Structure 1
Amino acid sequence: MTLGKLRVHFRNAAGQVLEQPTGRYIIIRYSSGPRRFADLQTLLGHSKQLLALRQWHKVVGDHRRMTPFAPAESAWVTDCWLSMPRTRMRDFYGAVLLPAEVLARIPVERALEEATANALTYRLFAEEPEAAAWLAQLP
């Protein structure tokens, strides 16, 4: 699949939000190292706004360089960010990019299956082209 040029929508210390107009999805590319909770909230707030603005429902979460979420961050992501009302968004899909060494420790069946967390149906990937191909075949 040939995709168009990515556009940077927002960036801060927690990462950047990019839009892939050809594929009609966004990429949340997390930065490495420590982050402030407020920076994460702002980053994800901008990503939510971009999804609503474009009326898109697909996202690539690039976790390959990021420090894992702290418990409070995980709770906020689950309770607040993923609680998008169904009335505002169709099904919500996420392709999660994990470091190859992390993905290698996950059973193959688990990595290849689609899972659901709150409103998000997601699948795990090691490479961005595979994630883009999966998103492209979704409605």
Structure 2
Amino acid sequence: MPPATRSLYFENTIGRLWEEPEGYLRLEYKPGPRELVQFRALLTHAAQALSRHGWANMLVDQRQMAPFTPVEQAWMTGEWLPKAVHEHGYRHGAVLVAHNVFARLAMTQLVFGTRDLPHTYRTFENEAEAVAWLGSVKS
């Protein structure tokens, strides 16, 4: 029997969501500026995919990502992440850090702003290490 392969769940101009056969969701940000409606759509679909599968873990590939805008960051901190955690079961995010230093800083601010949620982000330079960590925290 051939090994299971990931399948594309959703894609727009901002990024892609992949269903990984190991039981987690992969979010890949595309490079460049983002349109807010498309950004919200991508993350809304991510939360729905977590619920659909009963998954708690996501690999977030920010390597090509531009920094979050203040509006994006406020929405993620105040609305999306609390809802993803409390309503969709999101618990662990393995983040492949952005090459852009300002995008890294924006992610650090997001983590700091949501530290009271029952959710853990860990950052990684190496994808294999990120995937291994997700495998070790399966819910």
TM range, smaller chain: 0.7 to 0.9
TM-score using structure 1 length: 0.80
| 1:73 alignment partner in structure 2 | 72
| 2:135 alignment partner in structure 1 | 136
Structure with the bigger percentage of strand: 1
1:22-61 superposed matches below 5 A: 23-61=22-60
Tell me, in whole angstroms, the C-alpha distance in 2 between the residues paired with 1:67 and 1:86: 24
Tell me, in whole angstroms, the C-alpha distance in 2 between the residues paired with 1:99 and 1:5: 25
The 3 A distance-change label for structure 1 pair 36 and 92 is same
Tell me, in whole angstroms, the C-alpha distance in 2 between the residues paired with 1:123 and 1:136: 13
Structure with the bigger percentage of helix: 2
Give unmatched runs, 5+ long, in structure 1.
Answer: 107-114
**Structure 1 residue runs of 4+, over 2 Å off?**
84-91, 99-102, 115-120
What do the CA deviations read for 1:61-87 (whole angstroms, capped 9, x no partner)?
111001010011011111111113766
The 3 A distance-change label for structure 1 pair 14 and 136 is same
| 1:110 alignment partner in structure 2 | none
Give yes or no for the alignment of 1:17 onto 2:17.
yes
Q: CA deviation at 1:4?
A: 3.9
Contact 2:64 2:99 in 1 (8 A): no
Q: Report % sequence identity.
A: 36
Moved more, 61-70 or 93-102: 93-102
Give unmatched runs, 5+ long, in structure 2.
Answer: 106-111
Q: CA deviation at 1:120?
A: 2.3
Q: State the secondary structure of the residue aligned to 1:28.
A: strand
TM-score using structure 2 length: 0.80
C-alpha RMSD of matched pairs (Å): 2.7
Q: State the secondary structure of the residue aligned to 2:47.
A: helix
What do the CA deviations read for 1:73-129 (whole angstroms, capped 9, x no partner)?
011111111113766455600001114675xx99xxxxxxxx863342010001221
Aligned residues: 128
Tell me, in whole angstroms, the C-alpha distance in 2 between the residues paired with 1:17 and 1:91: 15
| 2:108 alignment partner in structure 1 | none
